[in-house]
A and B are shown apart, each in its own frame.
Chain A
Amino acid sequence: MSDRRRDILLALALAALLALVPAVFGTRYIISQITLFFIWGIVVTQWNLVLGVAGIFSLAQMALFAIGAYATAMLAYYGAFPLLAAMPLAALVTVAASLLIGFACLRLKGAYVALLTLAVAQVIYLIVVNDTACFTNPPSGCLPLFGGVRGFSRFGDLGFRDLLGSKFYVGHYYVGLGLLLAAQVFCILLIRGRWGLPSARCATTRVMPCRAASDGCATSCGSSASRPSSRVSPEPSMPRISVWSGPSSSRCRCCCSCWP
């Protein structure tokens, strides 16, 4: 089984286990807390992609989180969009913002990326919090354009209150679970796909003494990659082999992938 299939199956199995939780623990407190856990789990998934896999020390990720949340809230509050339409639109807004930040970081590396992204995050925070001029005057009082320190509230919901009545939080639970699963599968496909790390792109990796790596790896890779049961390429194809040193210099990790 390739690493990609194994990871996706693991994610599916864990999600299936979590899908049973509302049937066992029905209390609102536990379900809401696990829903929050899903939300932060998605944040961790993307942070892992940015820092853990790509190695970009970006502190702007929570600012992007905020941009997504505020775009959803503002579209729903000012534009009277239903949330199901506001959420994908807000995602597009966030992608545009993250592209801008990414372009700004292109010539920087290491700590300078952290500095620039921290500055971006602080600018966004200050613009939101320091804005005191009333943009609208709802019955609850003065509301600045970006919500100010008060923020937005009651800008709509996903409609589970009408659908499930007092059990609406169970609907939120499954939405969170589905989004977390989607984020994880997306990340796995990205990391274990063509754009991923060389080590993660490997169908199989083997660790062996460096001296034997070049030929030993070739034979082991050749035998595993040209198996007729290989799902990626049914035809026996030439395995692509790359050798690089592992954590200890006397051992090498060799990568055998059989993508065309």
Chain B
Amino acid sequence: MGIRIGHVYAQVLMLSGALAALSGIMVSSLSGLLPTMGADPMLKAFVICVVAGLGNVPGAAIAALLLGLLEAVIQYLFGVQYAFAILLALVICVLIWRPYGLFGKRQVVRL
């Protein structure tokens, strides 16, 4: 009876691992590989997910595009070193005033 939580967790991790491996394979054809190269995309993915609202797939796609452009504009106008800090400050503001994300609706709390 019911949903087997352990199975669902394992399946979700398997699928997300497959997607992560796919992007890793594609990156390996473009740039050199380093053990630390994952930290930056990881944080950016986190920024995008939080700004879009956790679990919102179309919102994440739009937020990824917008935040990428915003980062480029900040880098061009103010300087490269401020871009990521300003993105993270944006996350802080989103979490304070719209904890469910820019495109998200007020919804049940997961976790």
Query: Which residues of A come within 8 Å of B, CB atoms?
Result: 104, 107-112, 115-116, 118-120, 122-123, 126-127, 130-132
Q: Mark B41-66, 1 if CB is under 8 A from A, else 0.
A: 00100110010000000000000000
Given A110-B109, A110-B111, A104 contacting B43 (CB threshold 8 A): no
Q: Say if the beta carbon of B27 comes within 8 Å of chain A.
A: no
Cα A108 to Cα B95 with chains together (Å) = 8
Query: What are 6 contact pairs spanning A and B, CB under 8 A?
Result: A104-B95, A107-B99, A108-B99, A115-B91, A123-B92, A131-B81
Cα A178 to Cα B82 with chains together (Å) = 40
The 5 closest A-B pairs by CB, nearest first: A130-B81, A126-B85, A116-B95, A119-B88, A123-B88
Cα A127 to Cα B47 with chains together (Å) = 17
> Cβ of A115 and Cβ of B43 under 8 Å apart?
no
Q: Say if the beta carbon of B25 comes within 8 Å of chain A.
A: no
> Cβ of A112 and Cβ of B88 under 8 Å apart?
no
> Cβ of A122 and Cβ of B88 under 8 Å apart?
yes
> Cβ of B92 and Cβ of A111 under 8 Å apart?
no
Given A116-B92, A126-B81, 8 new contacts (CB under 8 A): A104-B96, A110-B109, A112-B95, A119-B95, A120-B92, A123-B85, A123-B89, A126-B88
**A115 contacts across to B, CB distance below 8 A:** 46, 50, 91, 95
B110 smallest CB distance to A (angstroms): 8
Closest B residue to A120 using CB positions: B92
**A127 contacts across to B, CB distance below 8 A:** 85
Cα A108 to Cα B88 with chains together (Å) = 17
Cα A119 to Cα B84 with chains together (Å) = 10
Interface SS of B by simple majority: helix
User: Count of chain B residues with Cβ under 8 Å from any Cβ of A?
Assistant: 17
**A131 contacts across to B, CB distance below 8 A:** 81
Given A122-B43, A130-B81, A131-B81, A107 contacting B96 (CB threshold 8 A): yes
A150 smallest CB distance to B (angstroms): 15
> Cβ of B92 and Cβ of A119 under 8 Å apart?
yes
Task: Give the residue of A104, A108, A109, A130 whose beta carbon is less than 8 angstroms from that of B85.
Answer: A130
> Cβ of A132 and Cβ of B81 under 8 Å apart?
yes
A133 smallest CB distance to B (angstroms): 9
**A108 contacts across to B, CB distance below 8 A:** 95, 99
> Cβ of A126 and Cβ of B84 under 8 Å apart?
yes
Cα A116 to Cα B81 with chains together (Å) = 21
Cα A111 to Cα B49 with chains together (Å) = 13
Kindly name the residue among B81, B109, B111 whose own CB sees the greatest number of chain A CB atoms within 10 A.
B81
**B81 contacts across to A, CB distance below 8 A:** 126, 130-132
> Cβ of B91 and Cβ of A119 under 8 Å apart?
yes
Kindly name the residue among B81, B85, B99, B109 whose own CB sees the greatest number of chain A CB atoms within 10 A.
B85
Cα A221 to Cα B81 with chains together (Å) = 62
**A109 contacts across to B, CB distance below 8 A:** 109
